[in-house]
């Protein structure tokens, strides 16, 4: 099974032929990682989509950066799940909902302007719908 995963992961590494395009992919990937890190502390900026974008960019520009991102103990399992199955695990989705609710509700409570509160509430609902549409894959019963 491990060899199948390595082959599946290696199949996603398709370096672009052009050095210029690889450099652009690399720059975009690094920017996406930076935005993902910022998204850890900012409630409105999502982390996971930026890390998935970074993984896709690194797969076309730098096997070293791609492997480091996929091997990361926090982000790696989520990225591998997306690469292999185009889904996320149910516990991850629950965490996303919990953190989304906590961050948006605390931000809404802090805002003094009703307009900003409504805007944040609408944005929170839109993000929750976006997350709801992501496929869920439960773990295999055997392992």
Tell me what pLDDT residue 60 has: 94
Tell me what pLDDT residue 140 has: 67
Same domain, 108 and 72: no
Same domain, 78 and 100: no
Same domain, 65 and 18: yes
Sequence-separated (6 or more) residues with CB below 8 Å from residue 64: none
| Cα distance between residue 79 and residue 57, in whole Å | 13
Sequence-separated (6 or more) residues with CB below 8 Å from residue 61: 15, 16, 22, 23, 24, 25, 26, 29
Tell me what pLDDT residue 142 has: 59
Domain span holding position 104: 89-143
Q: State the DSSP code for 46.
A: -
| Cα distance between residue 86 and residue 132, in whole Å | 14
* Contact of 67 with 42, CB cutoff 8 Å: no
Same domain, 50 and 37: yes
Which of 2-11, 42-51, 60-69, 108-117 shows the lowest per-residue confidence on average (mean pLDDT)?
Answer: 2-11
Q: What percent of the chain has pLDDT over 70?
A: 87
What's the pTM value of the predicted model, to 2 decimals? 0.68
Token readout for 87 is 């889904």
């Amino acid at each position: 099974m491990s060899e199948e995963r390595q082959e599946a992961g290696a199949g996603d590494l398709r370096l672009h032929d052009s050095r210029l395009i690889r450099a652009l992919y690399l720059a975009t990937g690094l920017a996406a990682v930076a935005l993902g890190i910022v998204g850890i502390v900012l409630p409105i900026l999502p982390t996971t989509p930026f890390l998935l974008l970074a993984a896709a960019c690194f797969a076309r520009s730098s096997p070293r950066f791609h492997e480091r991102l996929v091997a990361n103990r926090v982000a790696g399992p989520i990225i591998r799940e997306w690469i292999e199955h185009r889904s996320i695990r149910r516990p991850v989705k629950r965490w996303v909902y919990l953190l989304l609710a906590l961050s948006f509700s605390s931000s809404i409570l802090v805002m003094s302007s009703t307009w900003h509160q409504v805007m944040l509430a609408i944005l929170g609902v839109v993000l929750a719908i976006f997350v709801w549409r992501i496929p869920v894959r439960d773990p295999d019963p055997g392992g």
